[in-house]
Amino acid sequence: MIIVTRPDATDEQIDRIRERVEAVGVRTHLSRGEHHTVIGCVGDEEPLAELPFLSMPGVETVHRVMKPYKLAAREFAAEPTRIRLGDSLIGGQEFTVIAGPCSIEGWEMLSSTAAVVQEAGGAALRGGAFKPRTSPYSFRGLGMEGLELLARIREEAGIPVVTEVMDTRHVEAVAEHADVLQIGARNMQNFSLLSEVGRIHRPVLLKRGMSSTIKDLLLAAEYIMQQGNMEVILCERGIRTFETATRNTFDLSAIPVLKRETHLPVFADPTHAGGIRELVAPLGYAAVAAGADGLIVETHPDPAAALSDGDQALTFGDFRKFMAGLVPFAEAAGRVGPQSKKAGASSHSSAA
């Protein structure tokens, strides 16, 4: 931490600031400039993080030097984190697609979607049982019944399943039925929930909050990891800005920035970022090009009849086209695309 004093700071004020720093076991180092004296704090920054230096007389600005996250930081891990999801290994050379309906509406639609997702090279099926909805009057999911349908398709079709958990009281039940637990954007800073999913042994797909910085996202991952669960997939899904032409503003740059800052895998959600069907392909392809490890995408047998998000889900036909179109971009990015992966172990290994 670096503390810059005001031009009019007195020696006594500077002494008191130093005492404050040294009281928590951190050494200080003074550098007197023409206008400002700079107090360098040498050592662990954590004990200083909570101290209200800006309140102390004579202080002008405080600059943090060390990153506030540790376990999530790139430096913490020798290699990128790889997370197994059925046959796929997220975070390595494969480009992984998780797809399915926004909400689970019944058995038939779920099983037909699972078949299409598998056939098109998807690694796992997504489907919401508990749905966070902005309006209390919207469809909020089938709840436990939805979870059971999810468990059944996972068993029958042999496809891994991903579903959202919204309430600390449901974490255990969801972890029992699903392969990956999703934390939605609106719960990214629901710290009780983060701690709770940190205590289970299931990968977590953590979506970036609409007003969260990249640093906030990494700190939310840190909450989970600090409890022992190191399998966190980060997911960019758009932030809130003044632009109204799209539902959110897809912060594509977050992908390369996260790949540089952390060892955790990075996904993108082109469906929610854009909010309209036509944007899924350009945003999804751009995410591959920018270095993402995978996508989570909505597809539905009949979007026009969907109980939620009907305007943005791909039809099965569009989904198949989307997956086929993804391959050359994945290859251009030096990845093994979703379809070539299904072509057999041989092509896989030759590509690797």
Rg of the Cα atoms in the chain: 23
Write out the binding residues for a copy of itself, residues 3-22 only, by CB under 8 A: 4, 7
Query: Which of 132, 144, 173, 301 contacts a copy of itself by CB under 8 A?
Result: 132
Q: Which is nearer to a copy of itself, 86 or 132 (CB)?
A: 132
Nearest approach, Cβ of residue 344 and a copy of itself (Å): 23
Q: Which two tokens stand for residue 301?
A: 């047998």
Number of residues in contact with a copy of itself under rule CB under 8 A: 108
SS3 state of residue 51: coil
Q: Which is nearer to a copy of itself, 159 or 165 (CB)?
A: 165
Q: What's the CA gap between 106 and 181, in Å, rounded? A: 20
Closest CA to 167 of 144, 190, 201, 141: 190
- With tokens 């749905």, the residue in question is 131
Q: Which is nearer to a copy of itself, 91 or 284 (CB)?
A: 284
Q: Which is nearer to a copy of itself, 134 or 349 (CB)?
A: 134
Query: Which of 332, 343, 344, 350 contacts a copy of itself by CB under 8 A?
Result: 332
Q: What's the CA gap between 159 and 150, in Å, rounded? A: 10
Nearest approach, Cβ of residue 84 and a copy of itself (Å): 26
Q: Which is nearer to a copy of itself, 112 or 226 (CB)?
A: 226
- Asked if residue 115 binds a copy of itself (CB under 8 A), the reply is no
Nearest approach, Cβ of residue 160 and a copy of itself (Å): 25
Stretch that binds a copy of itself, among 2-10, 92-100, 113-121, 147-155 (CB under 8 A): 2-10
- Asked if residue 87 binds a copy of itself (CB under 8 A), the reply is no
Q: Which is nearer to a copy of itself, 86 or 189 (CB)?
A: 189
Torsion sign, CA atoms 125, 130, 133, 138: positive
Q: Which two tokens stand for residue 47?
A: 């004990």
Query: Which of 12, 61, 143, 199 contacts a copy of itself by CB under 8 A?
Result: 61
- Asked if residue 289 binds a copy of itself (CB under 8 A), the reply is yes
Q: Which is nearer to a copy of itself, 72 or 153 (CB)?
A: 72
Write out the binding residues for a copy of itself, residues 213-272 only, by CB under 8 A: 213-216, 219, 222-223, 226, 239-246, 249-257, 260
Query: Which of 15, 22, 29, 228 contacts a copy of itself by CB under 8 A?
Result: 29
DSSP letter at 104 equals -
Closest CA to 127 of 98, 100, 156: 100
User: Please, which residues have CB within 8 angstroms of residue 55's CB and are 6 or more apart in sequence?
Assistant: none
125 backbone dihedrals φ, ψ, rounded to 5°: -100, 130
Q: What's the CA gap between 208 and 292, in Å, rounded? A: 14
28 backbone dihedrals φ, ψ, rounded to 5°: -120, 165
Closest CA to 117 of 164, 171, 78, 153: 153
284 backbone dihedrals φ, ψ, rounded to 5°: -65, -45
- Asked if residue 78 binds a copy of itself (CB under 8 A), the reply is no
Write out the binding residues for a copy of itself, residues 134-193 only, by CB under 8 A: 134-140, 166-169, 186-187, 189-192
- With tokens 């913490």, the residue in question is 76
Nearest approach, Cβ of residue 86 and a copy of itself (Å): 27
Q: What's the CA gap between 182 and 41, in Å, rounded? A: 39
SS3 state of residue 111: helix
Nearest approach, Cβ of residue 352 and a copy of itself (Å): 18
- Asked if residue 306 binds a copy of itself (CB under 8 A), the reply is yes
